[in-house]
Structure formats: C-alpha cells, structure tokens
Amino acid sequence: MPTALSAYSPEIRPPTVGSIQSHETQLLHKKWFEGIGERYELPITQQEELIGRQFYELAETWREQKGGLSLVYQKSMLPSYQTIIGLGHRVIPFILRELERQPDHWFWALEVLTKQNPVPLADRGNIRKRAHAWIEWGKNNRLI
Amino acid sequence: MPNESFLRRCYPNLSTSQWRKTSDETTDYNCIAWVMNDTENLWDPDYFWPTNISKELPVRTETIIELCKLYNYQLCENGDLEAGSIKIAIYADQENYFQHIARQNPNGQWTSKLGDWEDIEHELVGLSGRKGSGMSPVLPYGTVVRFLKKPR
C-alpha cells in the first residue's frame, strides 16, 4: 500500500510530454497532481486539515437544519451529523473544540466515536454540565 | 438566531397567523421541558427522561401522552380556553410520531420552545403543516393530534 512518503519519492514524477510546457501538458500535470489525493494517503497534518474543513462545513449545515427539531435523535439522524460521525475518530478533537465554543448536541457522536460516556447520570439532562464533562475528558486524554 | 422572516419560511403558517418571540435562542431546554416548566434540563430520551417512560425511538405520540399523565395531565377534547385548567397540545407527523408540544397561556394563545431556537407565543395553526412544506425539509410539525389538561 502506498504511504504518505511515497507520494514524494523521486521515482514518481508527473508525466512529461517533451520539454515544452504546452497547454495540454499543463492540463496533464494538473490532472496528475489532482489525482495524487486519490492514489496516496495525505500527510497526517493535511489529513487533519481536511477533516477539520469537512467538519466545520458539515457542522454549519447541521446547525441550519436541526434548529427547530424537538428531539435529539431527530437532530442526530440528519445526514450532515451522520456524515460527521463517518469522518471517524480524527474528528473527535474538532467536536470537542466546537463543544468548548458552544454547548450543543454533540454527545451522541462523541459516545459513538469514543465508546465512552464521562457524564455523571445526575448531569445527563443538563447540556452545559454534559459539555463540561466531555471537555474535561478531552483535556484529560490530551485531545484538546 | 433565526430572524422572523427565516421562521416564517420554516413554518409557513406563521405568515397567516399571529405570533411573537418571547425569549432568546438557547439549547438549554426543549419544547417538552418548556411545557413542564423546566428550563434547566432538556427532556429527551437521550437527556432527562422519567425512568418508567419508554425510550424507544422514534418517539410515538402515546409515549408523550404517558409522560404527561405522570405529571397529572389527562386527555381532553379540545384546546378551548377553560378557566382553572392548563392545556397542552401534541403535534405529530402522518405516522403518529411525536414532533412538538405546546402549552396554553392564560390568554388562550399557545407558548412553544422551537427546538434549539426561541420561545414564541402563537396560534396552534402557526406551527402546523406538512414536513417540507416550507424552506426546511424537516419542519413544520405536522398536525395537533391530542390535547391534555390539568388543574391550574
């Protein structure tokens, strides 16, 4: 399986068509570079940047759609929220930072992704106390 | 915070009925909590929920009726204003899944917490309508399917 480093291997070069950078050649190079992401894993920092960008876009869509809904399962079943869960465990720090910024219904996603629930039973109904428990959990686990 | 024009697009019947905002937006409580006079907890199977009430999802209208009965509400015929009674109205979708609950004010109007948005005072028809009939694919709340009341 190709690794992140192999994308920078000297053996792998963009295709060349003669020595003249014709318009067609430039397009070929552009297509080749665009294809890198499909063929190779991105370096970890870029992966996190990509996940962060995806998270904030999806979270914005989710906030627009979930606002008037009465129950949390209705909000959690929205495609944007489910797609955030589908981003996997690397999205957890972004969710925790968002929770730190503003308490919201991120607990379903956090419980699914971490298989944890640090919230005392007595605090389960209070969104601010729940957010606080998760933020502390995130700090204790060096995720934020 | 959604502005009034945004809310009218989500709940088209607000355009043809009387209503006004009565609070700021908050995620601290929801419509069930508001009806139960609790602004500290969010009443939801995933948050605060009475232990002997079903947590089955999706939440059925009957489940909410059972919950309200725990707090002394009894089914009644209509939402007409009655001296000495507090009435509540349950909205459900076509499959009878719970969507929303509102409480009657002493002036005969109804008060609702709109999900994570604001509280509003409104007419019952204002929040009714088929899902997707406005701008949002998941709003408004369907129709009022049950009324309950308890002594004020």
Across the interface, whether the CB atoms of A70 and B42 are under 8 A apart is answered no
* Burial of residue A15, with CB atoms counted within 10 A of its CB: 0-12 exposed, 13-18 middle, 19 or more buried: exposed
Domain extents in chain B: 4-151
pLDDT tens digits for range B33-62: 999 999 999 999 999 999 999 999 999 999
- CA dist A131 and A106 (Å) reads 9
From A71's Cα to the closest Cα of chain B, the distance in A is 6
pLDDT of residue B112: 98
Q: What pLDDT is recorded for position B2?
A: 77
Kindly report the pTM of this predicted structure: 0.83
Using the Cβ of B137 and the Cβ atoms of chain A, whether some distance falls under 8 Å is answered with yes
pLDDT of residue A46: 77
Residue with tokens 């629930």: A117
User: B40 vs A126: CB contact, 8 Å cut-off?
Assistant: yes
* Nearest chain A CA: its distance from B81 CA (Å): 25
CA nearest B44 in A: which residue?
Answer: A71
Could you read off the pLDDT of B108-125 as tens digits, one per residue? 999 999 999 999 999 999
On whether the CB atoms of residues B70 and B80 are closer than 8 A, the answer is no
Is the predicted pLDDT of residue A41 greater than 80, yes or no? no
Amino acid, single-letter form, for residue A89: H
Give the model confidence (pLDDT) of B55-85 as tens digits. Answer: 999 999 999 999 999 999 999 999 999 999 9
**Confidence at residue A42, expressed as pLDDT on a 0 to 100 scale:** 67
Q: Please tell me the distance from the alpha carbon of residue B95 to that of residue B60, in angstroms, as a whole number.
A: 9
Tens-digit pLDDT profile for residues A47-75 = 888 999 999 999 999 998 999 999 999 99
The pairing of strands B74-76 and B19-21 is unpaired
Whether pLDDT at A106 is above 60 = yes
Which CATH architecture group holds B4-151? Alpha-Beta Complex (3.90)
Burial of B83 (0-12, 13-18, 19+ CB in 10 A): exposed
What pLDDT does residue A15 have?
42
The owner of tokens 């509003």 is B120
Q: Where are the alpha helices (DSSP H) in chain B?
A: 4-10, 31-35, 61-70
Q: Is the pLDDT of residue A33 over 90?
A: no
Residue ranges covered by each domain of chain A = 23-31+44-140
Angle between helices A127-140 and A92-101 (to 10 degrees): 130
Name the DSSP letter for residue B43. B
Classify burial at A120, counting beta carbons within 10 Å of its beta carbon; exposed 0-12, middle 13-18, buried 19 or more: exposed
pLDDT bin (cut points 50, 70, 90) of residue A45 is confident
pLDDT of A99 reads: 97
Work out the mean pLDDT of chain A and round it to a whole number.
82
Contact criterion met (CB < 8 Å) for B138 and A78 = yes
State the CB neighbour count (10 A cutoff) for residue B149.
21
Measure Cα distances from B151 to A58, A96, A108, B63, B85 in Å: 46, 44, 37, 21, 5
Give pLDDT, residue A47. 81
